[in-house]
Structure 1
């Protein structure tokens, strides 16, 4: 599956990353693509930042509670960060917008990509939301 996101150029990625940091990104724009845009932006521009805390704070600023049934999800966040790091490492020197477009054109562009590695029951369990839970379908390749 090939997805095109021409609107996700360098300026848009920068706006998403900064919007996450200062909690000004409109909630409707916090899409699957925006999650990866923010992850890549943060890994590129401010690698010392704590992505889980940024997401939790952003959720609260948008009125979304971080609990056992919604908001922040540790396993999905950690898997996505691992994916973004591996994807970036395999493509050194690629500009951020091109990197994001390539990532979104890969299997990671499908918002349900974690279900290739976790059963739905395990991935959406309270344990997986609260902490890292290893895949139960197959190991992550990164």
Structure 2
């Protein structure tokens, strides 16, 4: 998940759909589950499958995907509820800002060159020890450094 925005390959709308469906259907190769792919899946699911983009359903989908590629969802790795909810809020705000007619590839390209394109973006809003606590991984923990702008 540490890809730099400058190194992120451009995504087509077809790429974005394939990533989202590949994650949900547990067939996306693990090496394709990059920081950009996380955003691609969030944007596509929010627009086309909003029932999956609800926190509980998204959590189940991500946990299943992680396990399908040999990952573990425990107190130190795998699914992270606070980051997922914050990311969904950010992706939803980006979709609203750009409008429904804007291709997802354009929205994703703008998102990836901004602050959200850095995999450590949540550190601006949470202390590391808060963000990486078991409580934050298992449930929503509000930011302790500043309000989310979305």
TM norm. shorter chain > 0.5: yes
In structure 2, the CA distance between the partners of 1:36 and 1:117, relative to structure 1 (3 Å rule), is: same
Q: What residue number does 2:72 align with?
A: 65
The alpha carbon displacement at 1:44 in A equals: 1.2
CA distance in structure 1 between the partners assigned to 2:92 and 2:20 by the alignment: 16
Deviation at 1:80, TM superposition (A): 0.3
The answer for unaligned runs of 5 or more in structure 1 is none
- Please say if 1:22 is aligned against 2:25: yes
1:7 matched to 2:13? The reply is no
With 1-10 and 32-41 compared, the bigger mean Cα shift is at 1-10
Q: How many residues align?
A: 142
Name stretches of at least 5 consecutive residues in structure 2 with no aligned partner: none
Superposition CA RMSD, Å:
1.4
1:4 touches 1:101 (CA, 8 Å); kept in 2?
Answer: no
Cα deviation, 1:45-66, whole Å, max 9, x if unaligned, reads: 1111121111011011111111
2:93 alignment counterpart:
86
Which residue pairs with 2:134 in the alignment? 126
